[in-house]
Amino acid sequence: MRILTPMKMAIFTVCWLLLAQGCGSGASTQVGSESTFDIEESGDVVISVTDAEGDFVSYTVDVVSLVMERNNGDTVETLPLNTRVDFNELTQLSELFTIATVPVGNYTRIVMRLDYSNADILIEGADGSAEVVQLVDEAGNTLQLLDVEVLLEEKDAIRVVPNLVCWLALDFDLNASNTIDLQTIPATVTVSPYLVAMPEFEPHRAHRLRGLLDAVDQIESSITIAVRPFTHRTGEFGSFTFNTMDATLFEINGEAYEGAEGLRVLAELSQGTPLIAQGEVNESTLIANTVLAGDSVPWTDSDTLRGVVTKREGNILSLYSAHIEFRDGRRSFRGAYTVELGDNTVVTALGADRAQLSIQSISIGQGIVVSGALRDDKVMDASEGRVRMLVSRLAGRVLESQPLVVELRSISNVNPARLDFSGTGGIASEDSDPEFYEIDTSRMMLDSFEHGEAVGVRGYVNDFGMAPDDFNALGVRDLKSDMRAAMLKVLWADAGTALPFSNITPDRIDLDLSVARIILELPGHRKISPEQLALVPALKQGALYAISIRGSDRVSLYRDFSDLVEALVGHLDSGDILHHVNAKGGYNSSSEVLNAWRIRFVFDQVSK
């Protein structure tokens, strides 16, 4: 595989993996736009986009086009409209991007055009506000329009065949793609984007689908929608059919339903009703866990605000990291924000009886989506509007197992030091304490956890004024076994190192950290710097390892860890210098081992 970057204004390092010899089947898709070729001699390509976490509150760029080229030179554009994407929004899920019907054949060239000229890339300042950054490439040039060409060897071609669906997942890694220098004013972000493409959707990641209702099949428990990704309200991005199950939770025009009853109510709505679904892919079929429809979709008929409640005084909420999505599709980061509630505010939450909810259900640390009237740049009046409570996620360290009590590390991705828990208890002495955060797990069978163990919990914050308990759990997981939990950066300064490993075998790499700078971020945004660390392969579908050369278009990809090790040894034996390593995986603190499912080694090439 060879990757080219023809634009001299920037060097765009891309990693594109397409190992499938043909496209998989099992999903149901239909053509959503007119074609100029014989429909019987075509196949569907279902494209999703996601990313891995980075240190940004917004990372918004324009994807201008995505062109696929057959080995005979014929080309087809798969993206009907310029699409503005905030990759920071996709750190926990992927979004169905477009469904393209393309002629059959072997596709050996792909061109993605990205426009950074109007990028909205912000980092969090010391006071929690958003700070604008200066964007440059590795050569220090200002970023603008980038054409990224991917040339595939024939053996790696995308093979489109009739009546089969090809799944293509694009994974943009913010952590590996950007280096932030806080010593400059404004801060400088050096961009060397790292994109992974896989011929399947990740089975362990949530997938979101947005669009307009087309049809409901109650017998097959399926829903078909006209896809409208991200902020698009119009355009032809194809149509897609997904399945539901008995446990699927629906919220339709503010009312909660489940399973077949939700499908029945949905079938009574008119075509073109806004709809958002989220679920997981199982054997190439997307099965929805949740479905929002009608005016339960945030952008239906009003401006909406999304953020985390940090303080409450009476009916006045203070929000952190607030984003506004305007009804015309525009999106803006506003940081701190105020929301005014009233007796007529409608409160909903997936899986909850609306009759049991009120404005008192909204408490500190709860993620919310608010629809109302914007009074000015810092206030939204929701006294006649709607608040939808989001399933919140917290990370903590176990203090007691039965009942579950944790030292809170983060909640809704917010450091608890930013939260004012005043008023969360019936009296001041009962206010939530992040150092002794009490969780109600009565609705589940809970394994016993050891003291000090890292856990993640999803659920809803308890009603304001009703602590303890502080949080009502829907699920609990052991974070040390979460293969997506830890993020690693190891840097050997500008000079790099010719001796980065203390030991290397086909199934293990021991890093020499004696002169390296290491950042290992664990669940709850806790960062540590271990004195020693080993990388081993993760037993996880979709594991991918890469070696790239700074200032070059050369990228090598490996599914097999032993092949990676062989290539690393070859680079070092040739005299190449390792500059830095990025990795993701599950970290075991007792053995100081990272079970890595993504690793990128970046070399300075000395050998020719």
Q: Kindly report, residue by residue over 429-455, the tens digit of the pLDDT.
A: 999 999 999 999 887 777 778 888 888
Decide if pLDDT at 19 tops 60.
no
Residues 228 and 275 placed together within one structural domain of the fold: yes
Decide if pLDDT at 474 tops 80.
yes
Identify whether the C-beta of residue 206 lies closer than 8 Å to the C-beta of residue 172.
no
Residues 338 and 379 placed together within one structural domain of the fold: yes
What does the alpha-carbon distance between residue 443 and residue 61 come to, in Å, rounded to a whole number? 42
For residue 39, CA distances in Å to 26, 33, 36, 45, 99 come to 19, 11, 9, 14, 14
Q: Which two tokens stand for residue 282?
A: 């199982």
Q: Note the pLDDT of residue 16.
A: 40
Identify whether the C-beta of residue 473 lies closer than 8 Å to the C-beta of residue 566.
no
DSSP code of residue 257: E
Short-list 540, 489, 593, 528, CA closest to 397 = 528
- List Cβ<8 Å contacts ≥24 apart for 247-251: 247/289, 248/279, 248/287, 248/288, 248/289, 248/290, 248/291, 249/289, 249/290, 249/291, 249/350, 249/351, 250/290, 250/291, 250/292, 250/293, 251/290, 251/291, 251/292, 251/293, 251/296, 251/348, 251/350, 251/388
Residues 174 and 222 placed together within one structural domain of the fold: no
Residues 153 and 112 placed together within one structural domain of the fold: yes
Q: Kindly report, residue by residue over 274-287, the tens digit of the pLDDT.
A: 999 999 887 778 89
What does the alpha-carbon distance between residue 412 and residue 319 come to, in Å, rounded to a whole number? 12
What does the alpha-carbon distance between residue 159 and residue 153 come to, in Å, rounded to a whole number? 12
Q: Note the pLDDT of residue 28.
A: 37
- At 153, the pLDDT band (50, 70, 90 cuts) reads low
3-state secondary structure 499-544: CCEEEEECCEEEECCCCCEEEEEECCCEEECCCCEEEEECCCCCCE
Residues 431 and 568 placed together within one structural domain of the fold: no
Q: Note the pLDDT of residue 523.
A: 63
Q: Note the pLDDT of residue 261.
A: 94
Residues 39 and 187 placed together within one structural domain of the fold: yes
Strands (E), 391-495: 392-400, 404-411, 437-440, 454-461, 471-478, 486-491
Given 296, 319, 352, the domain boundary residue is: 296
- At 246, the pLDDT band (50, 70, 90 cuts) reads very high
Q: Is the model more confident about 168 or about 399?
A: 399
What residues are paired with 318 via a beta bridge? 311, 338
What does the alpha-carbon distance between residue 542 and residue 193 come to, in Å, rounded to a whole number? 20
Total of domains in the chain:
5
Residues 356 and 422 placed together within one structural domain of the fold: no
What does the alpha-carbon distance between residue 101 and residue 89 come to, in Å, rounded to a whole number? 27
Residue with token string 């109302």: 372
The counts of H helices and E strands in the chain are 3, 44
Given 369, 389, 409, the domain boundary residue is: 389
The residues, ordered by sequence, that sit 6+ positions from 307 with a Cβ below 8 Å of its Cβ are 319, 320, 321, 322, 323, 337, 367, 368
Residues 400 and 452 placed together within one structural domain of the fold: yes
Residues 428 and 290 placed together within one structural domain of the fold: no
Q: Highest mean pLDDT: which of 10-19, 72-81, 278-287?
A: 72-81
What does the alpha-carbon distance between residue 132 and residue 121 come to, in Å, rounded to a whole number? 7
Which domain range does residue 309 map to?
304-389
- At 29, the pLDDT band (50, 70, 90 cuts) reads very low
For CA atoms 394, 398, 404, 408, the dihedral sign is: negative
Short-list 209, 293, 286, 216, CA closest to 253 = 293
Decide if pLDDT at 504 tops 90.
yes
Short-list 268, 263, 264, CA closest to 277 = 263
CATH number of the domain that 403 lies in?
A: 2.40.50
Residues 103 and 240 placed together within one structural domain of the fold: no
Q: What is the mean pLDDT of the chain?
A: 82
**Burial of 108: CB neighbours in 10 Å, binned 0-12, 13-18, 19+:** buried
Given 236, 263, 296, the domain boundary residue is: 296
Tell me the pairing of strands 379-389 and 367-376: antiparallel
What residues are paired with 513 via a beta bridge? none
What pTM does this model have? Answer: 0.74
What does the alpha-carbon distance between residue 46 and residue 281 come to, in Å, rounded to a whole number? 13
Q: Note the pLDDT of residue 27.
A: 37
Residues 327 and 368 placed together within one structural domain of the fold: yes
Residues 369 and 399 placed together within one structural domain of the fold: no
Which percentage of the chain shows pLDDT scores above 90?
Answer: 32
Query: Which residue type, as a one-letter code, is found at position 363?
Result: S
Cα 403 to its chain centre, rounded Å, is 32
Q: Note the pLDDT of residue 7.
A: 33
What does the alpha-carbon distance between residue 378 and residue 374 come to, in Å, rounded to a whole number? 8
Q: Which two tokens stand for residue 63?
A: 């994807």
